[in-house]
């Protein structure tokens, strides 16, 4: 049974990604959501033998340390320097806003939410880089499985509402005080293909195998180095050091053209992240998770995350008004930070402005890079 469970961890996300290219409903629901659901179902059938508990924890660490560098290989730090001034300012204002609101939320809810310093670090990560950063920071900070699931569940609920708002009412609302976008205002046009992000159409083809294998080999080397750093530290610092090491090496590897141009690296990295999601969900007791005792905690989490996300959005808009950032660029920055790059083209289409797609994508990939550092730093500072 233990062998079958381990096989499920690896095969379930693979099947989801394969069939996501054929059935759009999978992408509409979200691979991460289905991964959590599958993990919760298998875990609460009480068929997982206690003997593989240690192996589960080891696999969680391995998948994160392999996934993070792969996600970062598609970065291009050199192109960051070519960002338009307003794009960079908008990014900076968005990051400052979420940090300010995380601190404010911490002091508002610190007596109501146990482990809020860890949750604060995860909120920084998920706002700047999405699920990869959230999972990496949770692992680096030693967040209990139940608390991780509850936090991400609450974040997904609030995030879905915010995304709907960004797609519909955000432009007329924020346009009341932010200046309108002028066509041709955004001059940045580096090469960046939207389909590089979470599109698995070509991932399972034979032609992609060589690049995928190359990306995995480099990631495996980085994983071994990251794992080696754990012997230099004690306690929770071990996982933190490993996560930050593979993040740094992943960014450095992206400077090598032969690695940066591998089209399948991001998709392979997300596959490992989804494996992590299935495993961590399978370790959670859903009855205890949503028991009467935890209802108050879940409500407080929803309130805290609402304060952070809605508050940072409003503060970001105020700062954007002060710094003369246009409404389209503000909205696309908020989308890239809070929902990650794959949602940028969707929101850009709703704005009817293709010119903001590229800067939005760049902001999103920068978020992947800085999220782990910033999240860990804020968490330990609050601790």
pLDDT in tens, the chain (383 residues): 888 999 999 999 999 988 888 888 888 888 888 888 888 888 888 888 888 878 888 898 899 889 888 888 877 666 665 666 777 888 899 999 999 999 999 999 999 998 899 999 999 988 887 778 888 898 888 888 888 888 888 888 888 788 888 888 889 999 999 999 887 655 554 444 544 556 777 777 887 888 889 999 999 999 999 989 888 887 767 888 888 898 889 888 988 888 888 888 888 988 998 898 888 888 877 776 667 777 888 899 999 999 999 999 999 999 999 999 999 989 988 888 887 666 777 788 788 887 777 777 778 778 878 888 999 999 999 98
Alpha-carbon separation of residue 199 from 20, 112, 119, 202, 268 (angstroms):
9, 40, 30, 8, 11
Helix, strand, or coil here: 14?
Answer: helix
Phi, psi of 63 (to 5 degrees): -65, -35
197 touches 360 (CB < 8 A): no
Return the SS3 of 1: coil
49 touches 2 (CB < 8 A):
yes
Closest by CA to 200, choosing from 42, 57, 16, is 16
| Whole-angstrom Cα Rg for the chain | 20
Helix axes 131-141, 357-382, angle to 10 degrees: 20
Report the C-alpha gap between 95 and 370 in whole angstroms. Answer: 10
Percentages of the chain per state (helix, strand, coil), in multiples of 5: 80, 0, 20
Total tally of structural domains belonging to the chain: 1
Residue 22 burial by Cβ neighbours in a 10 Å radius (0-12, 13-18, 19+): exposed
The 10 Å Cβ neighbour count of residue 236 is 14
Rounded to whole angstroms, how far apart are CA atoms 255 and 253? 5
pLDDT given at position 381 = 95
Q: 224: which 2 tokens?
A: 């071994």
Global pTM value: 0.78
Report the first-to-last Cα separation within the chain, whole angstroms. Answer: 40
Question: DSSP states of 34-82 as a string?
Answer: HHHHHHHHHHTTT-S-GGGHHHHHHHHHHHHHHHHHHHHTT--HHHHTT
The predicted pLDDT at position 242 comes to 86
pLDDT for position 350: 81
CB burial string 76-98: b at 16+ within 10 A, e below: beebbeebbebbbbbbebbbebb
**Domain region containing 85:** 2-382
d(Cα 19, Cα 31) in Å, to the nearest integer? Answer: 10
- pLDDT score recorded for residue 152: 84
Contact in structure between 101 and 122 (CB atoms under 8 Å): no
């Amino acid at each position: 049974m233990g062998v079958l469970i381990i096989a499920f961890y690896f095969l379930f996300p693979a099947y989801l990604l394969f069939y996501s290219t054929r059935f759009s409903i999978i992408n509409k629901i979200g691979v991460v959501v289905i991964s959590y659901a599958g993990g919760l179902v298998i875990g609460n059938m009480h068929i997982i033998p206690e003997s593989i508990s240690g192996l589960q924890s080891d696999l969680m660490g391995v998948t994160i340390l392999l996934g993070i560098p792969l996600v970062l290989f598609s970065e291009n730090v050199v192109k960051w320097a070519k960002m338009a001034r307003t794009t960079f300012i908008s990014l900076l204002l968005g990051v400052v806003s979420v940090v300010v609101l995380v601190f404010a939320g911490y002091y508002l809810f610190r007596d109501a939410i146990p482990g809020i310093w860890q949750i604060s670090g995860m909120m920084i990560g998920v706002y700047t880089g999405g699920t990869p950063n959230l999972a990496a920071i949770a692992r680096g900070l030693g967040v209990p499985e139940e608390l991780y699931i509850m936090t991400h569940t609450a974040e997904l609920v609030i995030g879905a509402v915010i995304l709907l708002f960004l797609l519909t009412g955000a432009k007329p609302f924020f346009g009341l005080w932010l200046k309108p976008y002028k066509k041709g205002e955004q001059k940045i046009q580096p090469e960046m293909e939207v389909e590089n992000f979470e599109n698995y159409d070509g991932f399972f083809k034979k032609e992609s195998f060589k690049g995928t294998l190359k990306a995995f080999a480099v990631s495996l080397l980085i994983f071994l180095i990251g794992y080696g750093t754990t012997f230099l530290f004690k306690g929770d610092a071990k996982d933190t050091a490993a996560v930050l090491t593979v993040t740094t090496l992943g960014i450095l590897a992206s400077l090598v053209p032969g690695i940066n141009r591998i089209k399948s690296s991001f998709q392979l990295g997300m596959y490992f992240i989804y494996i992590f999601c299935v495993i961590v969900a399978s370790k959670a007791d859903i009855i205890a998770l949503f028991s009467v005792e935890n209802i108050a905690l879940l409500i407080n989490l929803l309130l805290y995350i609402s304060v952070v996300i809605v508050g940072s959005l409003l503060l970001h808009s105020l700062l954007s008004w002060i710094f003369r950032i246009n409404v389209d660029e503000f909205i696309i920055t908020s989308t890239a930070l809070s929902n990650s790059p794959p949602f940028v083209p969707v929101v850009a289409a709703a704005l009817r402005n293709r010119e903001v797609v590229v800067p939005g994508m760049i902001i999103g990939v920068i978020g992947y890079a800085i999220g782990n550092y910033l999240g860990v730093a804020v968490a330990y500072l609050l601790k």
